[in-house]
């Protein structure tokens, strides 16, 4: 039954007033604007907390199809969202890894795969070859790049982009620079085109002493895919690593994530799929390799990842390592019965200050207990 006609004008006034109030509450002003319900274009999911301050006061230089500088990335500890697609999978199941075992694939257990990583937008092909970035605040968005990026600048963002490298690296941050963010991108290479006897080694390399962020990326081919002592590596899919023989005639060791020690900051590796399918005869090292090559390994968090392959799936930093937290990971047996060819973990320092090993399981649900470092 419709309302009487004489009440319609009053209803319209009340509705208009309510809409005005609601509009003011949603739009906000100043620093409160980031807490509104709308999501910035480069965020995969809404956040209710206020956005952090901009990382640089220098105006950004946009390269690509973007219209704004990306907002700060969500915390990797949150549940990752899927890419906008009609075929996007259901949200990741909750609970500890013990409740997510027996899956046919990482994606079936809620871990990153090809559907939830890589660019979310249409890309524009661009042949750059070797390219140097020297302008602070540069944003590269929406490009399908054939080449590599060598970064001598602060606060550079690569987002919704594909890089197919024919060089030693895909993206490299030089010493003395900071603030690099690589988000929602595909980074791959052409085997046999790199400078070391055709080898291609680093998808993203952090040569500096500051943290960088790599998130929601699809990474393949490179021998040591993610190389850094400090950084925030989250929600990535690393797979199909390509081994190669170096100029010395030896198989180059391969790792999905590698850190050479000596870091002064924090390295966080959270909610990634890290696969190293390389055979033991072709130089396979680890899915995560924490090595004391240039100094002590310290302050590394390895949490809630799907890890498989390598000689050992995880190299734990050796006897001097401290502050290493390995928690709630699934060590998959998809390549080897013990996750790695020789086992789950090597060189774990169980006596190191702040070292934690908790609730790590094989993909069939069995708890894993590391042997002490020798």
Looking at mean pLDDT, say which of 33-42, 249-258, 349-358 comes out highest.
349-358
Mean per-residue pLDDT, 273-277: 96
How much is the pLDDT for 45? Answer: 31
* 365 pLDDT tier (thresholds 50, 70, 90): very high
Among 88-97, 246-255, 290-299, 335-344, which stretch is predicted with the lowest mean pLDDT? 88-97
More confident residue, 248 or 108: 108
Interatomic CA distance for residues 75 and 2, integer angstroms: 50
What's the rounded Cα separation, in Å, for the pair 74 and 80? 9
Question: Which pLDDT score, from 0 to 100, does residue 372 have?
Answer: 62
262: left (phi over 0), alpha (psi -120 to 50) or beta: left
Where does the pLDDT of residue 148 fall: very low under 50, low under 70, confident under 90, or very high at 90 and above?
very high
The mean per-residue pLDDT over the stretch 22-46 comes to: 33
Query: What's the angle, vertex CA 37, arms to CA 33 and CA 42, rounded to 5?
Result: 80
Please check the confidence at residue 327 and state whether its pLDDT lies above 60. yes
Predicted pLDDT of residue 114: 97
Tokens of 70: 């990306």
Task: Pick the more confident residue, 91 or 225.
Answer: 225
> 77 or 341: which carries more pLDDT confidence?
341
Indicate whether 270 pLDDT > 80.
Answer: yes
pLDDT higher than 70, residue 369: yes
Q: pLDDT digit string (tens) for 333-364?
A: 999 999 999 999 999 999 999 999 999 999 99
- CA neighbor of 302 nearest in space, from 325, 322, 320, 323: 325
Percentage with pLDDT > 90 across the chain: 56
Asked if 85 and 115 touch (Cβ cutoff 8 Å), the reply is: yes
pLDDT grade, residue 206 (50/70/90)?
A: very high
Does pLDDT of 291 surpass 50? Answer: yes
pLDDT number for residue 90: 38
Answer whether residue 53 shows pLDDT above 60: no
The yes-or-no verdict on residue 92 having pLDDT over 50 is no
The predicted pLDDT at position 3 comes to 34
pTM, 2 dp: 0.76
- pLDDT band at 284, cuts 50/70/90? confident
Q: How confident is the model at residue 111 (pLDDT cuts 50, 70, 90)?
A: very high
* One-letter-per-residue 3-state SS of 137-184: CCEEECEEEEEEEEECCCCCEEECCEEEECCCEEEEECCCCCCCEEEC
Mean of pLDDT over the chain: 78
Go through the chain and tell me how many residues it has. 374
Q: Tell me what pLDDT residue 58 has.
A: 39
Q: Which helix (H) or strand (E) holds 26?
A: helix 8-27
CB 309 within 8 A of CB 287: yes
pLDDT value at position 17? Answer: 39
């Amino acid at each position: 039954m419709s309302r009487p006609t004489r009440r319609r004008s009053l209803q319209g006034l009340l509705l208009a007033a309510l809409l005005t109030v609601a509009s003011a509450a949603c739009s906000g002003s100043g620093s409160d604007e980031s807490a509104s319900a709308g999501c910035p274009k480069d965020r995969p999911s809404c956040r209710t907390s206020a956005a952090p301050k901009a990382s640089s006061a220098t105006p950004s230089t946009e390269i690509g199809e973007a219209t704004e500088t990306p907002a700060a990335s969500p915390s990797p500890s949150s549940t990752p969202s899927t890419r906008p697609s009609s075929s996007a999978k259901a949200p990741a199941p909750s609970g500890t890894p013990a409740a997510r075992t027996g899956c046919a694939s990482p994606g079936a257990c809620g871990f990153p795969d090809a559907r939830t990583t890589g660019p979310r937008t249409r890309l524009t092909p661009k042949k750059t070859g070797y390219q140097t970035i020297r302008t602070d605040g540069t944003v590269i968005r929406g490009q399908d790049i054939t080449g590599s990026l060598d970064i001598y600048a602060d606060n550079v963002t690569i987002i919704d982009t594909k890089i197919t490298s024919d060089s030693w690296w895909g993206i490299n941050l030089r010493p003395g620079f900071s603030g690099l963010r690589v988000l929602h991108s595909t980074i791959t290479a052409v085997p046999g085109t790199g400078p070391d006897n055709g080898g291609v080694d680093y998808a993203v390399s952090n040569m500096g002493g500051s943290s960088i962020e790599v998130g929601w990326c699809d990474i393949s081919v490179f021998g040591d895919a993610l190389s850094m002592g400090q950084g925030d590596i989250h929600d990535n899919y690393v797979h199909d690593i390509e081994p190669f023989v170096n100029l010395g005639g030896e198989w180059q060791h391969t790792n999905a994530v590698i850190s050479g020690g000596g870091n002064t900051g924090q390295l966080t590796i959270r909610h990634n799929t890290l696969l190293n399918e390389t055979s033991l005869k072709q130089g396979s090292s680890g899915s995560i390799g924490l090595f004391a090559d240039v100094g002590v390994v310290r302050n590394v968090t390895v949490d809630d990842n799907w890890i498989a392959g390598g000689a050992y799936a995880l190299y734990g930093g050796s006897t001097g390592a401290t502050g290493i937290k390995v928690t709630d990971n699934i060590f998959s047996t998809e390549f080897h019965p013990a996750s790695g060819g020789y086992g789950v973990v090597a060189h774990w320092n169980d006596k190191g200050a702040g070292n934690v090993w908790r609730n790590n399981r094989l993909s069939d649900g069995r708890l894993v207990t590391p042997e002490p470092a020798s």
